[in-house]
Copies of this chain bind each other. A is one copy, B any other.
């Protein structure tokens, strides 16, 4: 029987299938709607009922700014995008890609910016290396082929980046036998993961909106995304100073003592952050002052403000039974608790009103300047379940993707913007269309390499990353981490658990002080970069990817220079686009090459163009690898400046940003060519700038035929009191 030779009779009919044939033939997306120059949207499937990040974020696109940019036709490849709704209600969208095309982005991703060959489940969560789950899983990618795609749907999105081969594809790699006979050569390299020719992504749902961007280069594409999302965030000037968060159970007296110690050590300070214990109850929270620790919150806050300091309050959104607003909020909260606190449904105006009223009365009215919104990211064990139900009918999944976004919008729009006062805060989760909101993301993780990568990564997706410092294993690590912190969008020491101070590692205190003071001196330059973010969408601290092929600085306030052509990297003359997350740009002209962990030296692969040492002004190289040591930088971070740059800086460091007012500037000049830069000024704290109440000054250096420099400054836009004093040129060694 085992060796039975009985032959199954096979009839011809066997060989043709009678099964229903639906192999996911795609519907081409053909109804692209032009939103503005270089921006198109299209709906796939039945998208009318889907929650969109852009609607939820609610910052209208800066159409007028976008339309000042080069008008580029819809890339032809976009017309090949197709979609399919599967039998189990998965909406799959397929975006064809080319061989060699590189894919970057998808929000805050500590494991790198390039995503070819990766499968990402974009879901708000603690960071999980490689899988896509992260604090800010922005469903937006940019391609080396000169376009970007934003999946504008507040759902978990699973994206296959050139992973997977369709059987009907014409461009699959050839089959290779993995185990050929010994006397037969392998027909090619067998690949465990044969590259696919598309990005395929799906959600559970019936439809979604896609928004496509193009531009003259990657920076231009990202800038247009940010303009589509309302333009970048504009923090108050004080928000760019140094932040310090005190331990959880610190009292008012302890906090004041800590502030005095900062002064004693001559360390700049602008913001004090209180952690959970300022409240009567926490985890879940009341948002009400714990009078045993803070007997006079108004007096305490006023004392800080009088000293030029701003107060930031920690909170997570989960409300205690002991909170004044608990009863009113209860019916407006979801089916499940987090840490036994109710979870308000902030898609409801009534819920927002309740929170904002209480926050205004208890915090805003006494001078609190902003919030740190914690634990809106998960992980699963510390959040409502995916099947929780909310009174507005918003799905748990959409709520999870957008809770951080909702809270940013609420605090920004309905508290601070409404009362014409800027804020800058922290939030532990964000997502698509968040560019406009002045909150930086932070994490519980602490890998220095990841924190440095985060700076580049965040800049590709309209978010700001705060690589906070908490502790260190040595003086050297303390210095190096402080470098990273001070050249990030939000410079903060978070001592909530560690109790550290900037001077906690005594041998490093000089270097730490110098680093923070350098940040303070650079505030005119950084503040101008933020104005560029706001007005033109260009991230103030950003990935080197966004510099590829550029030699000129972006100039704030001017119509942006358009040198490129359509799909600039598709014509064979493309620059090499290569990720290097160990470097990043701080503003338009300064390249930062941080020392990692405890290192005192590193290699730096300089991009094309001449680069100058920030401190000495010496030429260090052009498109070559150099070595830099901590001895050379005098324990300051390695900084390199582009050919022909002007860096507006304070002549002397200040201890509070308010001391900037009227302080004289030096305009450092690097290189050998003509140079210009802009300087932005406003009142530093209101939204007057939205009505044009700001100044733009232009500084120029022209090289004269006799080798001398001609320095000039002009006021391009003058609608406010000047922030700074006299500016003088400081040519650096040439």
A residues near B (Cβ < 8 Å) are: 1-8, 10, 14-24, 84, 86-90, 92, 117, 119, 155, 158, 160, 163-168, 172-175, 177-179, 181-184, 190, 192-194, 200, 202, 204-205, 248-249, 276-277, 279-284, 290, 292-293, 302, 305, 320-322, 328, 330-337, 339-342, 345, 348, 350, 353-354, 356-357, 360-361, 364-367, 380-382, 384-389, 391-398, 419-421, 686
Residues of chain B lying within 8 A (CB to CB) of residue A117: 381
Could you tell me the distance between the alpha carbons of A293 and B380 in the complex, rounded to whole angstroms? 52
Whether B393 and A350, one on each chain, are in contact in the complex, defined by CB atoms closer than 8 angstroms, is: no
A84 to chain B, nearest CB (A): 7
Residues of chain B lying within 8 A (CB to CB) of residue A87: 389, 393-395
Residues of chain B lying within 8 A (CB to CB) of residue A21: 331, 391
Known: A175-B320, A177-B281, A345-B19. A14 touches B385 (CB 8 A): no
A649 to chain B, nearest CB (A): 29
Whether A167 and B333, one on each chain, are in contact in the complex, defined by CB atoms closer than 8 angstroms, is: yes
Could you tell me the distance between the alpha carbons of A453 and B17 in the complex, rounded to whole angstroms? 45
Residues of chain B lying within 8 A (CB to CB) of residue A398: 88
Q: Which one of B184, B293, B385 lies within 8 Å of A200 (CB-CB)?
A: B385
Q: Which one of B2, B194, B348, B357 lies within 8 Å of A8 (CB-CB)?
A: B357
Q: Which one of B89, B192, B341, B364 lies within 8 Å of A382 (CB-CB)?
A: B192
Whether A391 and B23, one on each chain, are in contact in the complex, defined by CB atoms closer than 8 angstroms, is: yes
Q: Which one of B4, B174, B194, B292 lies within 8 Å of A183 (CB-CB)?
A: B292
Residues of chain B lying within 8 A (CB to CB) of residue A182: 249
Could you tell me the distance between the alpha carbons of A190 and B281 in the complex, rounded to whole angstroms? 12
Residues of chain B lying within 8 A (CB to CB) of residue A184: 292
**Could you list 25 A-B pairs, sorted by A, with CB under 8 Å?**
A2-B367, A3-B366, A4-B364, A16-B331, A17-B332, A20-B391, A21-B331, A22-B391, A23-B334, A23-B335, A23-B391, A88-B397, A88-B398, A92-B387, A119-B381, A160-B385, A163-B381, A164-B384, A177-B280, A177-B282, A179-B277, A179-B282, A181-B292, A194-B339, A204-B204
Residues of chain B lying within 8 A (CB to CB) of residue A335: 23-24, 166-168
Q: Please, which residue of chain B has its CB at the minimum distance from the CB of A19?
A: B391
Q: Which one of B7, B168, B193, B204 lies within 8 Å of A361 (CB-CB)?
A: B7
Residues of chain B lying within 8 A (CB to CB) of residue A177: 280-283
A458 to chain B, nearest CB (A): 26
Whether A365 and B328, one on each chain, are in contact in the complex, defined by CB atoms closer than 8 angstroms, is: no
Q: Please, which residue of chain B has its CB at the minimum distance from the CB of A337?
A: B165
Whether B165 and A340, one on each chain, are in contact in the complex, defined by CB atoms closer than 8 angstroms, is: yes
A17 to chain B, nearest CB (A): 4
Could you tell me the distance between the alpha carbons of A350 and B290 in the complex, rounded to whole angstroms? 72
Could you tell me the distance between the alpha carbons of A326 and B380 in the complex, rounded to whole angstroms? 44
Could you tell me the distance between the alpha carbons of A314 and B200 in the complex, rounded to whole angstroms? 31
Known: A3-B367, A175-B322. A19 touches B350 (CB 8 A): yes
Q: Which one of B86, B341, B394 lies within 8 Å of A387 (CB-CB)?
A: B86
Q: Please, which residue of chain B has its CB at the minimum distance from the CB of A21?
A: B391
A438 to chain B, nearest CB (A): 16
Whether B392 and A19, one on each chain, are in contact in the complex, defined by CB atoms closer than 8 angstroms, is: yes
A236 to chain B, nearest CB (A): 11
A149 to chain B, nearest CB (A): 17
Whether B10 and A357, one on each chain, are in contact in the complex, defined by CB atoms closer than 8 angstroms, is: yes
Could you tell me the distance between the alpha carbons of A320 and B180 in the complex, rounded to whole angstroms? 14
Q: Which one of B89, B193, B337 lies within 8 Å of A172 (CB-CB)?
A: B337
A534 to chain B, nearest CB (A): 21
Could you tell me the distance between the alpha carbons of A322 and B89 in the complex, rounded to whole angstroms? 35
Residues of chain B lying within 8 A (CB to CB) of residue A305: 2
Q: Please, which residue of chain B has its CB at the minimum distance from the CB of A248?
A: B179
Whether B290 and A167, one on each chain, are in contact in the complex, defined by CB atoms closer than 8 angstroms, is: no
Q: Which one of B92, B282, B381, B386 lies within 8 Å of A202 (CB-CB)?
A: B386
Whether A348 and B19, one on each chain, are in contact in the complex, defined by CB atoms closer than 8 angstroms, is: yes
Could you tell me the distance between the alpha carbons of A226 and B67 in the complex, rounded to whole angstroms? 68
Q: Which one of B7, B167, B686 lies within 8 Å of A342 (CB-CB)?
A: B167
Whether B277 and A172, one on each chain, are in contact in the complex, defined by CB atoms closer than 8 angstroms, is: no
Known: A14-B350, A179-B276, A277-B179. A420 touches B1 (CB 8 A): yes
Could you tell me the distance between the alpha carbons of A42 and B332 in the complex, rounded to whole angstroms? 34
Q: Please, which residue of chain B has its CB at the minimum distance from the CB of A291?
A: B181
A201 to chain B, nearest CB (A): 8
Could you tell me the distance between the alpha carbons of A85 and B64 in the complex, rounded to whole angstroms? 44
Could you tell me the distance between the alpha carbons of A86 and B385 in the complex, rounded to whole angstroms? 12
Residues of chain B lying within 8 A (CB to CB) of residue A393: 20, 22, 87
Could you tell me the distance between the alpha carbons of A179 and B247 in the complex, rounded to whole angstroms? 11
Given contacts A17-B350, A21-B391, A89-B204, 11 further A-B contacts (CB under 8 A): A2-B305, A7-B361, A8-B356, A10-B357, A16-B331, A19-B350, A87-B389, A173-B340, A179-B248, A182-B249, A184-B292
Whether A22 and B389, one on each chain, are in contact in the complex, defined by CB atoms closer than 8 angstroms, is: yes
Whether B204 and A336, one on each chain, are in contact in the complex, defined by CB atoms closer than 8 angstroms, is: no
Could you tell me the distance between the alpha carbons of A436 and B179 in the complex, rounded to whole angstroms? 34
Q: Please, which residue of chain B has its CB at the minimum distance from the CB of A328?
A: B15
A254 to chain B, nearest CB (A): 11
Whether A175 and B281, one on each chain, are in contact in the complex, defined by CB atoms closer than 8 angstroms, is: yes
Residues of chain B lying within 8 A (CB to CB) of residue A382: 192-193
Residues of chain B lying within 8 A (CB to CB) of residue A17: 331-332, 348, 350, 391
Known: A22-B391, A276-B178. A166 touches B337 (CB 8 A): yes
Residues of chain B lying within 8 A (CB to CB) of residue A331: 16-17, 19, 21
Q: Please, which residue of chain B has its CB at the minimum distance from the CB of A302?
A: B3
Whether A166 and B336, one on each chain, are in contact in the complex, defined by CB atoms closer than 8 angstroms, is: yes
Q: Please, which residue of chain B has its CB at the minimum distance from the CB of A398?
A: B88
Residues of chain B lying within 8 A (CB to CB) of residue A179: 248-249, 276-277, 279, 282-283
Could you tell me the distance between the alpha carbons of A356 and B339 in the complex, rounded to whole angstroms? 55
Residues of chain B lying within 8 A (CB to CB) of residue A336: 164-167
Known: A167-B333, A179-B277, A350-B14. A204 touches B88 (CB 8 A): yes
Residues of chain B lying within 8 A (CB to CB) of residue A174: 340
